[in-house]
Chain A
Amino acid sequence: MYYREAGQFKTSYKTDQAILPLREDRIGLMLSLVMAVVVVPLVSNDFVLASIMIPFLILALATIGLNVLTGYAGQLSLGTGAFMGVGAYACYKLTTIFPDVNIIVHILVSGLFAAAVGMIFGLPSLRIKGLYLAVTTLAAQFFLEWCFIRIPWLYNYNASGAIEVPERRGFGDLILTGPAADPLTRYFVVLAIVIVFTLAVKNLVRGRIGRQWMMIRDMDIAAELMGVRPLVAKLSAFAVSSYICGVAGAMFVFFYLGAAEPDAFSITLSFQILFMVILGGLGSLHGSFFGAAFIWCLPIVLRTWLPAIGIDLGAETVFHIAQLVIGALIIFFLIVEPHGLARLWQLAKEKLRVWPFPYG
């Protein structure tokens, strides 16, 4: 009833090849954009913007990055955290060396460094598959983490061993990064980058290269026989994925954390993002947003609401219980819907299509 494609005729190639061929989807997208651009900044206070919305968007971008690799190209990676770290450290070095260049340019360029590192660690994927590949990405994770600690040049020989975000201005005299930056400004910058990247990835995965990734994912030997070059397809997946993760990592430090120790890019972050991908749905872009929202917001919600409904246990206990509940929920969701929240969304749409009748 609410979600019918009947009567929507495509009369030109352009409409037929649109990203969202359904009118309802376009309306939905517009509504969520309006929500993100107008409503959220109007109703949210600084806390919600700075510690929920900004990290959610950045992590959603990282999730999209890993989704390109794992969901579309089928290469399991446990090194996402480290690739994000490469982006963050590259951006930090760039902005110390060239302080006058706009920070957003630095963020976009620092992704290239992550892409290069990602391609190097992606090389074994030409011979190694599945869980075996996971181990090589773990090598990347631990090796890079070690580099962040042991190479003082990366953090400008700070005594603390951490990178601290300097104040950078851009677009006139707007403070973009650093402690003095307004959460609203940071939110809009992050939002703009995330929207642009999502659009770019959407077009990438439905184009020639994206189809090659999916062929490699579904059956690599068959794909090779049909003329897809595994070298190009796999390495490009690693490159694009690491680029996006690198950009997300740079934003994670520059727009959210403000200062980061090597710990921030530990294996925990890698797992967190892998969870966002799996729970959101492998090979689904809107699923990436669902997954990121779920994994990021759930602990916050649990931590704030458990005391609010009368269960007051002290901060540490609440933290442990939150973790316990998240673990249980992850298992629960995997059992209920192994294909992730994106599939649940799809099922909901199927239901809406025939509502109020049980069968269409």
Chain B
Amino acid sequence: MELLTGIFVTPFVQMVTLPDFFLQVLWEGFVGGVLYALIALGFVLIFKASGVFNFAQGIMVVFAGLTLVGLHENGVPAYLALILTIGVMGLLAILVERFVMRPLVNQADIILLMATIGLTIFLIGLGEFIFGGEPKQMITEELGLPTGSTAIEIGSDGLLILQHIDIAAAVIAITMVAILGVFFNKTRIGRALRAVADDHQAALSVGISLNQIWAIVWFAAGIVALATGIMWGARSDVSFALEIIALKALPVLILGGFTSIPGAIVGGLIIGIGEKIGEIYWGPLMGGGIESWLAYMIALIFLLFRPQGLFGEKIIERV
């Protein structure tokens, strides 16, 4: 009985009696969700264009963040470091396309997945070799990102505290999605990308260079990774632990479907908010720390009812 009240009554009572705290939790979840969505966006970009599930997206986030901070630590001005980091991500994209993707064209999905996990291990080794294994502080102020916080009064004595960096993260994420949307729909390269996503062979036959397109998507994913790295780094710090957090993009993708950019956003928000609310209101019942698996369980439950994901098309199988 006590357990049942704990599950079905107490959390809701808490939500109603402390609305400002509930809003705070919602906001935290929203920001977390935006960051998940950003990581998922990187996955979606590459999956759309090449059908590769890029496991290395998480480590690319870390790698981009580390490069940026590392350059700055060695005396490069912040904005120059940012441009150089974009250059590094471009170089990485070209190298990955040339030495990983191109030789593995037409292999089974699981082989490509494994190759990106291999890439993950390689990048972890490389990152630790160059920058050392210890966490680094993100250069938030030097990049001109806001750092303060605003308190909004709610009702008589409620307070909602919004970190400026979180607002910036949300704004940047929205801008990025908008830019990507325009890029995909209005530009020549964007159309080529969609053509490749639809059908590799048909795209080849009308003269689209697959290699070039793949390098471009990896580069785009690299830039998304850099943005994610900066945002996430500003909230905590830049460390290899992020790589595990990036795995949370998987349930996000499951919810949103592997090829849908809006899906990635909605999925990210559902996971982010759901997991925060679950952790705060139901977590204590189970001893806390349920954030580590709740996202997967949410995805699992969704999958049991919709095996193709929220936005996926109905899977029709033939023999």
A135 engages B126 (CB within 8 Å)? no
Is A97 positioned at the interface, with any CB of B under 8 Å from its CB?
no
Residues from 287 to 314 in B contacting A, C-beta threshold 8 Å: 287-290, 292-293, 296-297, 299-300, 303-304, 307, 309
Residues from 103 to 141 in B contacting A, C-beta threshold 8 Å: 103-104, 107-111, 113-115, 117-126, 128-129, 133
Q: Top 3 closest A-B pairs, CB basis?
A: A327-B122, A324-B125, A323-B125
Residues from 246 to 290 in A contacting B, C-beta threshold 8 Å: 267, 271, 274-275, 278, 282
Q: State the Cβ distance, A171 to closest chain B Cβ, in Å.
A: 41
Q: A135-B296, A321-B129 are in contact. Are A334 and B119 (CB under 8 A)?
A: no
A124 engages B303 (CB within 8 Å)? yes
B122 engages A331 (CB within 8 Å)? yes
B296 engages A142 (CB within 8 Å)? yes
Q: What's the A-B contact tally at a CB cutoff of 8 Å?
A: 134
Q: State the Cβ distance, B250 to closest chain A Cβ, in Å.
A: 5
Q: Which applies to chain A's interface (DSSP): helix, strand, loop or mixed?
A: helix
Residues of chain A with a CB closer than 8 A to B180's CB = none
Q: State the Cβ distance, A326 to closest chain B Cβ, in Å.
A: 6
B125 engages A128 (CB within 8 Å)? no
What is the interface of chain B, defined by CB distance below 8 A to chain A? 53, 99-100, 103-104, 107-111, 113-115, 117-126, 128-129, 133, 244, 247, 250-251, 254, 258, 286-290, 292-293, 296-297, 299-300, 303-304, 307, 309, 317-319
Q: Which applies to chain B's interface (DSSP): helix, strand, loop or mixed?
A: helix
Residues of chain A with a CB closer than 8 A to B296's CB = 135-136, 138-139, 142-143
**Which of A105-113, A144-152, A158-166, A347-355 lies at the interface with chain B?**
A144-152
Q: A76-B110, A128-B307, A316-B133 are in contact. Are A275 and B117 (CB under 8 A)?
A: yes
Closest to B103 in A: A335
> Interface residue count for A (Cβ, 8 Å)?
45
B121 engages A327 (CB within 8 Å)? yes
A322 engages B125 (CB within 8 Å)? yes
A327 engages B114 (CB within 8 Å)? no
Residues of chain B with a CB closer than 8 A to A282's CB = 110
Q: State the Cβ distance, B100 to closest chain A Cβ, in Å.
A: 6
Whole-angstrom CA separation of A139 from B271 in the bound complex: 14
Whole-angstrom CA separation of A86 from B296 in the bound complex: 19
Q: State the Cβ distance, A38 to closest chain B Cβ, in Å.
A: 36
Q: A278-B111, A320-B128, A334-B115 are in contact. Are A135 and B251 (CB under 8 A)?
A: yes
